[in-house]
């Protein structure tokens, strides 16, 4: 699902990008970055986090977004960065071979996609063995899921437990989770790793 103009003003801001970078840096302290040479950012928007990662870490970064306009801005703004590429793609059908990336990042994307389980299957497919998923998004409480489940058909409606169980079925487990306070919509920051069957 594409964002509206007002939401784009927020997510395309430097302040928003800096917040995502802070979360990323905190999560990066909880696993070994050695061997992470390739990364995919799903829902990269105008590409600020992807650019940051490619310039500050020894990795090639691919950013994807369903919005042609967002990708156009990203390509224009970061055209001189040869460790960075962008493409228009839907998260439910990623245009990459199996086991392509060492790491996948998904920041505030999954709640926009009703078929969120297919997105997780695609993430698992394109991740290499022992690959890392860096996840940050809103999760519903069980109560809110019951309410939104009936009329939130255009959105990803899931609890953190739904997410963990879905990924466990794909041979991925949570290796680190930032604690968050219970609220209506809780932003969860979690690291998952592939290959624990």
Overall number of domains in the chain: 1
Inter-axis angle of helices 160-168 and 116-126, nearest 10: 40
pLDDT category at 156 given cuts 50, 70, 90 is confident
Q: Where is average pLDDT lowest: 42-46, 137-141, 152-156?
A: 152-156
- Comparing 156 with 176, the larger pLDDT belongs to 176
For 84, the domain range is: 5-194
Q: Where is average pLDDT lowest: 89-93, 122-126, 141-145, 163-167?
A: 141-145
Determine the average pLDDT of the residues in 150-158.
66
Residues 132, 102 contacting (CB under 8 angstroms): yes
Handedness of CA 134, 38, 129, 46 (dihedral sign): positive
Checking if the pLDDT of 154 tops 70, the result is no
pLDDT one-digit tens code per residue, 113-142: 989 999 999 999 999 999 999 999 988 777
pLDDT at residue number 7 = 72
Q: What is the CATH number of the domain that holds 76?
A: 3.40.50.150
């Amino acid at each position: 699902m594409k964002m509206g103009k007002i939401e784009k003003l927020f997510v395309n801001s430097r302040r928003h990008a800096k917040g995502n970078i802070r979360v990323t840096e905190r999560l990066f302290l909880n696993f070994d970055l050695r061997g992470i040479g390739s990364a995919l950012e799903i829902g990269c928007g105008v590409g600020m986090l992807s650019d940051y990662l490619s310039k500050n870490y020894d990795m090639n970064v691919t950013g994807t977004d369903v919005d042609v306009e967002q990708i156009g801005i990203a390509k224009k703004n970061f055209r001189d960065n040869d460790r960075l590429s962008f493409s228009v793609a839907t998260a439910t059908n990623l245009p990459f071979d199996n086991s392509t990336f060492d790491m996948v990042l998904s920041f505030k994307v999954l709640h926009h996609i009703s078929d969120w389980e297919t997105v997780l299957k695609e993430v698992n497919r394109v991740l290499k063995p022992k690959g890392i998923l860096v996840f940050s998004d809103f999760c519903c409480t069980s109560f809110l899921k019951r309410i939104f489940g009936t009329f939130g058909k255009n959105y990803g409606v899931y609890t953190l437990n739904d997410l963990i169980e879905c990924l466990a079925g794909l041979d991925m487990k949570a290796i680190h989770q930032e604690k968050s306070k219970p609220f209506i919509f809780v932003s969860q920051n979690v690291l998952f790793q592939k290959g624990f069957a």
